[in-house]
Amino acid sequence: MESNAVNDSGLTEDDYASVLTAVQSLAGKYGAVWTLNEALSGWRLVVIGIEDGFDTSWIWEYHDEFVCRDWLHEAWALLTPRVQQLRLPTLNEWDLRFIAATLPMRTTSAAPSTTEGRWWHNRYPRRVAGEPGEDLPSQWSPEPINIEGDQTPAVQQRSTATTATDDGQGCLSKTAGRPV
């Protein structure tokens, strides 16, 4: 098959090669080998966990949750336009849900950002679960809603146990209370 020939999925050999290049190029940096689909799935799990209410017992590891999205950010430039076009709707869906489930962080100084265009690092969860009054980062202002004290029917249906969901690829989503 020529490198530009299209197979049944609509992808060419060049498209597949671009995904393989991203996987191989980023494996050492991220300490794991993810496919594009696995990284998208990991981001999905993180977003769902934040929508459910981020467990404040993991508060100081909050930004570690973004490793899958960071991987996607770096991989994107290595992908062919066709692969980007096919996967962009999925990425946009989870990015929009993340934006809806979070608030922009308050900046504390005029220092330049170290997140290199990674806007998701500059947001914090709207809803958290954990001990009310627990110390939260000063940039998380206004303070998120603590669902532990919320007695709405939707919250009453949730389990109070903290769960960590692993997609099998090292992307964890630490959440409080999945629906039972």
The DSSP secondary structure of 124-177, one letter per residue, reads EESEEES-TT----TT--SPPEETTS---HHHHTB-SSEEEEE-SSS-EEEEE-
Total tally of structural domains belonging to the chain: 1
Judge whether 71 lies within some domain: yes
Q: Kindly report the CA angle at 121 between 64 and 96, in degrees rounded to 5?
A: 110
Judge whether 160 lies within some domain: yes
Residue 143: band (very low, low, confident or very high) from pLDDT cuts 50, 70, 90:
confident
Distance between terminal CA atoms of the chain? 49
Judge whether 7 lies within some domain: no
Judge whether 38 lies within some domain: yes
Share of the chain above pLDDT 90, in %: 53
Judge whether 79 lies within some domain: yes
- Tally of CB atoms within 10 A around 18: 22
pLDDT at 5: 55
pLDDT at residue 83 is higher than 60:
yes
Judge whether 1 lies within some domain: no
- CA gap 168, 163 in Å, rounded: 15
Containing structural domain, residue 73:
13-104+122-176
In this prediction, residues 101-109 reach a mean pLDDT of 84
* Nearest to 41, CA basis, from 180, 161, 170, 177: 170
In this prediction, residues 19-35 reach a mean pLDDT of 93
